[in-house]
Amino acid sequence: MAENLQNNPKRIIIIGYMGAGKTTLGRALSKILGFPFYDLDWYIETRMRKTIAQIFEDRGEEGFRTIERNMLHEVAEFENVIISCGGGTPCFFDNMDYLNQQGETVYLKATTDIICKHLNMSKNVRPLLIGKSPDEVKSFVDEQVSKRNAYYLKAKHILEVHLMDNREKVNTMAEQLIAMTGISKKA
């Protein structure tokens, strides 16, 4: 029986709001643990050969969420991986319960100020934020996080996120996450 437990696949599944640092931390974990990293949004875009914005435009949010759920079920079957979910992924269907069954879920809990700083540092254009002033972005983020928190808080682990503005801080957060989940490097 102990042998069976040792052979269980390892999955770290990172959830949280956009700008919390899911992709940044996922990449760092991948390097430290030697596990492949999958960003669910990137995976969807690659498989669908369209951007998330194009999928939303073509199929609406309901259509996108169905695709997202199907792709989530694909990625969550991979073994010994780090998975970063889109900010809304845990909030639809039974996704959060499913994620908890598949691996070690970690909610990157960040303050609105940290999220806004990360979003400002990001090279990615966030369609939901285009045309918004800094005050409007802060208000929007506050509202969205409060709506989604009930889902995020179902994660097995919660990691308080600090500003990740250099490699040392990112690696420190990654090491904290590894210690929290108890997952070790590939043998």
Q: Which tokens hold the place of 77? A: 């079957």
Known binding residue 148? Answer is yes
Known binding residue 87? Answer is yes
Known binding residue 126? Answer is yes
Q: What is the dihedral of CA 177, 180, 185, 187, to 10 degrees?
A: -160
Known binding residue 41? Answer is yes
Known binding residue 20? Answer is yes
SS3 39: strand
Known binding residue 174? Answer is no
Known binding residue 165? Answer is no
Write down the H helix ranges in the chain.
2-6, 22-33, 40-48, 52-75, 95-102, 112-121, 134-152, 167-181
Known binding residue 111? Answer is no
Binding residues for Mg(2+): 23
Binding residues: 19-24, 41, 65, 87, 126, 148
Binding residues for ATP: 19-24, 126
